[in-house]
Structure formats: structure tokens, C-alpha cells
Chains A and B, each alone.
Chain A
């Protein structure tokens, strides 16, 4: 798989890793299944699993490969978070609008992510299950003001009714592309480095560039 920004100048392909974080039962899996398969609670889901899904997008002429990593939401696996979100470009933090507790969990995740990854990661806070709006326990204002205060975007979705999900992922992709481009510019001339490259700095080739044609002769 080509790393982000490693392709030629015109038809470059971005590859982004997005982690799904949030308590169990908030609907992480439903969200991503709805997005990638457009199915909800369906017996005919074609994929064997819903924990690693990919989606190919075309945003303003740029190709984007999205890899969505689901994570285990149970509390006892919380400590494993850093292993999952390492090197990810974006994080989707899901809570259940009817469950105040799950929103608190999101806040914990935000704190941790900002501490570990800084501003390089694009955060989306997602209030899922708005079809159950009558049982809402997290107020819209609270959630949105909190999101703004931590530099994240807030979305309302319903996997059941297929609401707000396309927008969420499209928006996130655009933001990740901007971040990647900004990073490239910061590195100067965008020498095919990207957020997902293993070592951040190394741009210059130490070894002499191979002669384009018949290189064997020059050294033979």
C-alpha cells in the first residue's frame, strides 16, 4: 500500500488511518458498517467482520484510501488505546446521546489523544443514536461547546436512520488532507514525505541517485 503522498504529483493517493474510539454499545460498529456497507442490523452483511474496513474515496480529484480501525470499547481494554491510535491521522470519538457516561469517556479519550499525539490528529466527536432523541441525556450545547474548546468537530449521527454519517467521514477526510498538505508545505517542496511515514525528518537521500537508464554500466 502506498503511503500517503508517495505517488506522483498529479494523481497522488492519500492513505489515512482512522481509529474509532468510544465505550462499548455506543454504536461504533453500526456506524462504520452503515458507512462502508450501507447496512444496519442486517443479516446479509457481506463482510466477515466489521472491525477493519476500508473505503476508497475521490475528493476534489484526489484519491483517498481510508482504513477504519475499530477498537475494543470495554473498559478493561482502555489501557491498550495507545497501541491502536499510534500513527493514525484521524480519530472518531463516539458517544451515545442517551448515555451521559459515554460522553465522559469521550472526554477522557480527547485528553489522552491530545497529550499523546498533539494537534497532528484530526478529532471528530460524534453523538450517535439521535433517533432516540427523546431519551437524550447529553445536551447539544454542552457537547458542541466542549468539542470547540478542544479543537474538535462535533457531529450528530444515526446509524439506524443513516443520518449524518456521509458528512462525518467526508468532512474528516477533507480535514486530514489539509493537515497532510500543511505538513508537506512545512517540510518544504513536499518531497514525498507524509504524516504516515515512519521517520518524520529524513528527506535527503544520502546515497547517490541511481542513473535512470542502464545504471549497471556506470559501475560495472
Chain B
């Protein structure tokens, strides 16, 4: 009926924006013009977001209360407490995940059903057991806020955010996919987005780069727990393998690798320590770019060490052996997982041509070298290599160059210092034990003493129970009470105990 009427006769005023700003409106925007609609829509969305936050917080509180009460119940059933606790933790982890999902799923008002669907879907899929889940929730919240802040001044930033969020959401459902497929779809997304941005910003590649960095940061912070070392791959197995391998190679020296670094110089050993710290720190970062930054920092320290030792700019011939040495010394946690994660989810242009990419490639080389390392690559016979690997012999330290021998003496003095410390510690422990024994015997003596005193007291004042009960005046007092009173003979001179009395009002 309405549409019919409109079809026949359309009044000019009906086409105008309902807010009366003079522009034409659109039924799709509730009769508002684009500007007014955006305003209204924005406000509504903002409100929605705030509501969602409130809801999420409320859920969190409820969950915590529930947790507390369940915890109490669990304590009253001591037999199954440990298991219960574990279960509790699991549900807690789950619930905090659910909260995140609610937070991020709901702000889109155009798809209200998702609000309800979201939590259930995530709950039905197995949630990865991660104690850091709560932390990651905070992280991803912060990442989202930073991302939004960053995009605010950017042209069509809203569009970019929407796409990224939609994509990230869709990734959550693809968790069961293989790691390569996940990587493929993330990389496709990067590529499509960057191409679109290129045409949008008309070749301002710096801005595109910046936006892409933020996109990567936002998306990977959100997806980190899902896509880092996923269960569908054997990354973890490889991690353990390389870790064990590096541990087995503990005997490899600077001289064997021909590392041009002289650790005797304080600045050099300082750089080496910093390099080791940086490469270990890589595991603690979530965004591929940050991980790469750790590798780059590590490399810069290595270059510094080489430059100070050799007094000339480091070439790749010097750099790679030193990096291998650093990796062997550091044994960085989850090395393979980190490398795989960066390869899969880093913005490809950075890995391809940038400086970070170069250092990352060198790290990959170092790992590949360590995996395939044999006697030949260390300039020794394979028999010798086997002996070292099996731990039957260890390389001779003190002979060859001045550097290695003095580093040997440095190690020796360190060993001596540690030994001194240990002996000191042992002495103090013995003293503690002696004192403890003394205390024990003192305690035993004391209990004996007390017992004796009590005995003697009892003997000097024998009990006359029968007598005293008869003598106590008030019959209302209970028998036990009078028995206690009866121990004191002077009691008889005391007035009778006060009786409780009722006072009206």
C-alpha cells in the first residue's frame, strides 16, 4: 500500500533527509542523508560498544563469583580438589575467551544474531589451553583500541578496520584448517588489502606500509594464540628437536666455528650477551614485526661485536658463523615455532627485500646449519665429532690461541669462585642443621621439664573431687564447671558465682 502510493506520487519532502538538513535522504539509512546517518550511526555504535563492554564486565564478574563459590565447594570435598581446581581453571580460561569474543563480535549492530551465536560457537570448539589467555585478552583489547586510534585520521580507516575485523573473525572459525592454508589466506588478505590501499592512496607507499604494519599488529595480536604453533603442525616436535640438538652441541667453541669475535674485550662480550638476550626475547613478542625487530637488534649487536674485534665492517662471511654461535649459546625457546610463525604470517614485502628479512634469512640459515652440522663443517673428523656428541670427550681448552686460553682461565676463575661460594654455602647449611638439632633437643628437654613440674604439682596438691562438689554452693552450675573450680581450695572463701539474670527491655 505504502509502496504503491510512493510509486504514484512522491513528495519532494519525503525524499529529503529527515533531519531537515536539506540534503536527500535514503530509505536504507532510515530516511537520513549520508552525513546525518553517519552521525546517528556512529553514536549508536558507540553506545552499543559501551553496552557490550558493560555486559562483558558483568559476565566476567559473574564468572568470577561463580568461580569463587565453586572453589569453596571444591574445598569441602578434599578428595577431588586437585582435579576440580584444574577443571575450574579450564572453564575460567574458556569464559575469559568467550568474553573477548563477545566484546569483538557484538559491536556490529547489523548482525545481531552473532551476539548470541558467538559465545556458543567458540565454546563448542576446543579452546587451546593457555594460561596466558587472560593476558592475551588484554593484549588484543589494547591492540584493537590502538588500531582504531591509528585509523581514525586515515582516509576510509573505518572500512579498513571493518575488513580486518571481519577477516579476523572468520579466521577463528578456520582454526581446524592446516597451518599452510591459514597462512595462505592471511597472505592473500594482506596482498588484497595492500593493493587496494595502493590504488586508494595513489602511490604513497609509506602510508600504505604504515597501515599494513598496523593491520598486521592488530590481526596477529588477536590471532596469536590460535595460529602460533598450532596443533595441526609438528612445530612443537621440531622445537624440541632443535632444542635438544643445540644442547648436544654445547661443546662447540668459537674456534671451531671460526667466529671472528674476541670475547676478552669487555665491549665485545657485552654485545654478545645483549645479542643472546635479544634472540631469547623474540619468543615473548606476539606480532611478527616485533619478533623480527628482536632478530634485527640481535644482529646489530653481533655486528658491533665483530666490528670491535676486527676493526672493520662485518661481512656475511663473519656474520653467519657468529650468529650460529649466538644461537648455540642462547638456545632460544620455541625457535622453530617462531620461525614458522614469522614465515607464515609476516607481511611478505618485509621478508622479501627489507633489512629485517635479511637477518631473518640468516637466522633460518643458522638453524639449518645447526640441524645439519657434522664433523666436516667444524673442520674435524667424523669420529672426533661422534666422540664429542656422545659426551665421551670434551675439547681441550687451554692450548691453541691466546684468546681461547685466556677465556679458559676466565672460565676457570669463575669455576673457582662458584666452588668457593658452594663451600661457604655448605658450611652455613651445616651450622643451620646443628642449630636445628640443638633446638630439637631443647624442645624435648622442655617438654620433659614441663611434665615433671606438672607431676610434682599434682603430687603436692592431690585432688579431692568428692569433697569439693559437695561443698560448692550453687547446684545450678554444671558438674564439670564445679570440678574445675574445686582445684582451688581458696575457692571456698569466695562468694558464690554471679547468676545470669533477665532484665526486661
Contacts and interface: CB of A to CB of B under 8 A. Distances in A.
Interface of A: 1-3, 6-8, 11-13, 15-17, 20, 24, 28-29, 33, 43, 45, 47-52, 54, 65, 67, 69-74, 76-77, 79-80, 83-84, 86-87, 192, 196-199, 202, 205-207, 209-210, 212-217, 219-220
Nearest to A76: B377
B307 A217 contact: no
Contacts of B163: 210
Interface in B183-198: 187-188, 191-192, 194-196, 198
B314 A216 contact: no
B173 interface: no
Interface residues of B, number: 58
A135 to B, nearest CB: 22
Contact of A216 (B38, B188, B377): B38
A191 to B, nearest CB: 8
Given A48-B300, A74-B321, 14 more contacts: A6-B198, A13-B205, A20-B316, A28-B315, A49-B307, A67-B354, A69-B361, A79-B372, A196-B353, A198-B352, A199-B187, A216-B38, A217-B37, A220-B29
A43 B314 contact: no
Given A28-B315, A29-B317, A77-B369, A196 B352 contact: yes
Contacts of B191: 197-199, 202
Given A1-B349, A49-B303, A192-B198, A70 B372 contact: no
A72 B320 contact: yes
B191 to A, nearest CB: 7
B34 A217 contact: yes
Interface of B: 29, 34, 37-38, 41, 110, 156, 158-159, 162-163, 187-188, 191-192, 194-196, 198, 200, 202-203, 205, 208-209, 258, 300, 303-304, 306-307, 311-317, 319-321, 348-350, 352-355, 358-359, 361, 364-365, 368-369, 372, 376-377
Contacts of B158: 215-216
A195 to B, nearest CB: 10
A156 to B, nearest CB: 22
B33 to A, nearest CB: 10
B159 A6 contact: no
B317 A216 contact: no
Contact of B314 (A28, A49, A207, A215): A49
Contacts of B198: 2, 6-8, 192
